[in-house]
Structure 1
Amino acid sequence: MKRLRHYGMIAATALALVSFEADACIRFIYETGTGTYVVGRSMDWMQDPGTDLWAFPQGMKRDGGVGEGSISWTSKHGSVIASFYSVATVEGMNDAGLVANTLYLTETDYGDAKASGKPLISVGAWTQYVLDNFATVAEAVDALSKEPFAIVAPTLPNGSAAGGHLSLADSTGDSAIFEYLGGKLVIHHDPKYTVMTNSPTFDKQLALSAYWQEIGGMNFLPGTIKSADRFVRTNWALNAAPKEKDERLAIATAFSLIRAVSVPLGIADKEAPNIASTIWRSISDIGNKRYYFESSYSPTIFWVDIDKLKLSEGAKPMKLDLSSRPIIAGEASDKFVEAEPFKFLSN
C-alpha cells in the first residue's frame, strides 16, 4: 500500500508539471535492427477531417496560398502526402526520404504575419513547403532558421484555430521540432528527440520525459488519454521495443507502438473537447521509402511505394480519394488518379 501511495504521489506531481487541454496525436521515430528508421504517427481529432492521399511531383509551381505577398517556389522533390480538410498538407514523405508530421499545438502563436514584412505562407502549406524543398533535417533547419516567411493561420473549416508544430525526420535518424511561441520560432534539433505529442510545448515534454525516466515504466505509467500521459507511455514503449531486423516485424512493431497509445472511436471528453478519437495512423518507412496508412474506419492496412509513383518533373498531381472510406489492402500506388491539387487554407 505504501508503494501504491508513493507512485500515486509521483503521478500527481508529474501531472502538475503541465496544465493543458489538447487532442493527442503522437509522432515517434523507431530505429530498426538494420539501422534504418521508421516514423509512426496517429491523427486524433474531434471529427473525420476528410483525409485523402496525394502524390505531388517535382517541378510544381507553388505559392503560399494567401494571395498578395505569398511566397512562391518550385518543388525540388516529389512527395506522397496526407491532406487535412482538403486545405492543408498535414504530413508526408518526399522522394529523398524526408518525413514531415504536423501535430496540433494549442499554445501556438505565429505572431502578426502581415506586420512582419516577410513573404507569407498559409499554415496549410507549411508542411508541403518543407517536403518540396529539402532532402534532410539539417538542410531544413538551416533554411527555416532564417525564417524566410511568416505563417498566416486562418480558422480551420470546423471552426478550430489552425495552430500546430512541425516535426521532421530523415534517413540518418535526425530529428527536429519547429514551434511558434509568442510569435517567435523555436527549433529543437537533435536525433534524441524521438517522440512528440500535441501540448504541452516541446520543452515541457522533455521535462516530463526526464522525470518519468527516473521512475521506470515497469513500476508505474500514467494512463489517461491526455497528451502528456500518452507522451510518457510512448517514450517508455519505444525504448522497450526490440529493434527488429526483419522488415515485416519492424513495421509490425511500429504499428503496435502507435496502436498502444491510440484512442478508440467514440471517445471524447466534454470538459476538454480537443481530446478526441484516433481517426487514422500512418507509418513512414524511410529506408524503403514506403508510406503505410491505416484508417480507424477500415479493417485493413495499405501502403504506397514512393518509387512506384510518378513523381518526376512533368508528371501530374494524383489523388487517392478516401472520402468513401474504401477498404484498400496491400500496395496502392496504382489506385491514385490525376486530380487538381487542393488549395491551401486561406481567409
Structure 2
Amino acid sequence: MAVCTRVLWNSNDLAVLTGRSMDWPESTEPLIVAFPAGRRRDGGALAGVDVVPRNPLRWTSRYATLVTSVYGLGGIDGFNEKGLAGHGLYLQSTDFGVRNPAEPGVHAGMWLQYLLDQAATVSEALALMDGLDVVMVGAHGHDATIHLALEDASGDSAIIEFDHGTPVVHHGRQYTLMTNDPTYDEQLALLAEQDFSRPSRDMPLPGNVNAVDRFQRAAYYSALLPEPRDERQAVAGVLAIMRNVSVPFGAPYGEFGVYNTEYRTVCDLTNRVYFFELTTSPNTIWVRFDDLTLPDGGDPLIVDPYDETMVGNVTGRMTPGLIGF
C-alpha cells in the first residue's frame, strides 16, 4: 500500500538486481522476515477477522521466502528461494472489482506473499492469477490499492494491475520500471515522449517527487549505469538510483499529504541477498538467504530494521519469532 519506485537492472553481465523505495505518510512498521517452506496460509483472514468470508484461498507454501512486511498484513517486498521477487506499490486507480465467491479469494495484503510462496518464475506467478480473486483490504485508514511488479533470476519481468476486476498484465524483460499513478499504459506513453535511453547532460530532466517525474528519472539514471565490477558496485549502482527517486522529508504531494521515503531495498536475485536501507539510519543492512537455516514447517526468522544496533550483514541476528501471516 505504498507510493514507491521499482527499478529492475537485468541488462548487466553480473547479476539481476531490483531496487525499490517505500514512500508512505507514516511508518509501515516493517519487519524483515524469512519464512520456511511448508507454512500454512489463509488468504482470507486478517488479524483474526475473516475479510474474505466465502471461499478464501488457503495454501501451504512451496518455497521459503525473505520479505519485508507491511503493517503485519503480509510481505510487500522480497524474494523466494527460487529467485522470484515481487514488490507491491500504490496505485490509486486499482479496482479489484466485485467479489466473486466462485473463485478462491485472497486479500490484497497477502496477494504478493501467495505468489512468492507458490511460484518459481514470473511465468508461473502469472499462471497462478488464473481464477484468483484479489479482494480489497485496508489498514490504518488506507485501502491496499496496489499493483505488483515481479521479476525472476532470469531477468524476466511483469507488471500486474487491476482495472474493474480484470488483471492487466505487461510481461517481458523490457518492463524494468514502475512507480504509481497513472496506469502503466499511460506511464509508458509519457515515457515515449522523451528518449531517456540515450541520456546526456544537456537533456532536461523532471525533478519533482510525483510518480511521473520519478518514473522518468529512474529511466534516465538506469540508462547511465556502468557495467559493474562486482556485487558491491552493482548494489551501489541500484541504490544510487533509488536514492535519487526517493522523497525527501517534508515534501508534500498526493491525496494523503506528505509521503517521505521510509526505506529502500535491493534484491540481488543472482546471489540471493536482500539489502535494506532505512532513511532514518546511516546503516545499510543485508541478509544472505543461503546462510539462513529454514527447516520446512519451522518458525519464521525475524529482524527489526528499526533496531539501531543493526549494521552490515545481519543474517546471524535473525531470530525465531511470531508473526500473524
Q: TM-score range by the shorter chain?
A: over 0.9
TM-score, scaled to structure 2: 0.92
Instruction: Please tell me whether the aligned partners of residues 303 and 317 of structure 2 are also in contact (alpha carbons under 8 angstroms).
Output: yes
Question: Where does residue 180 of structure 2 map in the other structure?
Answer: 198
Query: Structure 2: how far apart are the matches of 1:116 and 1:314?
Result: 30
In the TM superposition, what is the alpha-carbon distance from 1:34 to its structure 2 partner?
Answer: 2.3
Amino acid at match of 2:168: V
In the TM superposition, what is the alpha-carbon distance from 1:116 to its structure 2 partner?
Answer: 4.5
Partner of 2:194, secondary structure, is: helix
Matched, 1:129 2:114: yes
Pick from 314, 319, 333: which aligns with 2:315? 333
The share of aligned pairs that are identical, in percent, is 35
Question: Where does residue 105 of structure 2 map in the other structure?
Answer: 120
Q: 1:304 to 1:23 in 2, by over 3 A?
A: closer
Instruction: Please tell me whether the aligned partners of residues 137 and 170 of structure 1 are also in contact (alpha carbons under 8 angstroms).
Output: yes
Instruction: Please tell me whether the aligned partners of residues 195 and 235 of structure 1 are also in contact (alpha carbons under 8 angstroms).
Output: yes
Question: Where does residue 10 of structure 1 map in the other structure?
Answer: none
Instruction: Please tell me whether the aligned partners of residues 37 and 63 of structure 2 are also in contact (alpha carbons under 8 angstroms).
Output: yes
Which protein has the larger Cα radius of gyration, Structure 1 or Structure 2? 1
Question: Where does residue 238 of structure 1 map in the other structure?
Answer: 222
Pairwise mapping of residues 1-347 of structure 1 onto structure 2 (< 5 A)? Answer: 24-31=3-10, 33-66=12-45, 67=50, 68=53, 69-113=55-99, 115-144=100-129, 146-147=130-131, 149-157=132-140, 159-213=141-195, 217-218=199-200, 219-269=203-253, 272-273=255-256, 276-322=259-305, 324-343=306-325
Instruction: Please tell me whether the aligned partners of residues 304 and 331 of structure 1 are also in contact (alpha carbons under 8 angstroms).
Output: yes
Which has a greater percent of helix? 1
Amino acid at match of 1:161: D
Partner deviation per Cα, 1:136-178 (whole Å, 9 max, x = no partner): 111112232x13x212212222x11211001101111100011
Amino acid at match of 2:273: R
Partner of 2:59, secondary structure, is: strand
Amino acid at match of 1:142: A
Aligned-CA RMSD value:
1.9
TM-score, scaled to structure 1: 0.86
Q: 1:214 to 1:245 in 2, by over 3 A?
A: closer
Instruction: Please tell me whether the aligned partners of residues 225 and 275 of structure 1 are also in contact (alpha carbons under 8 angstroms).
Output: no
5+ residue gaps, structure 2, are none
Query: Structure 1: how far apart are the matches of 2:225 and 2:163?
Result: 33
Partner deviation per Cα, 1:212-232 (whole Å, 9 max, x = no partner): 117964321111110000100
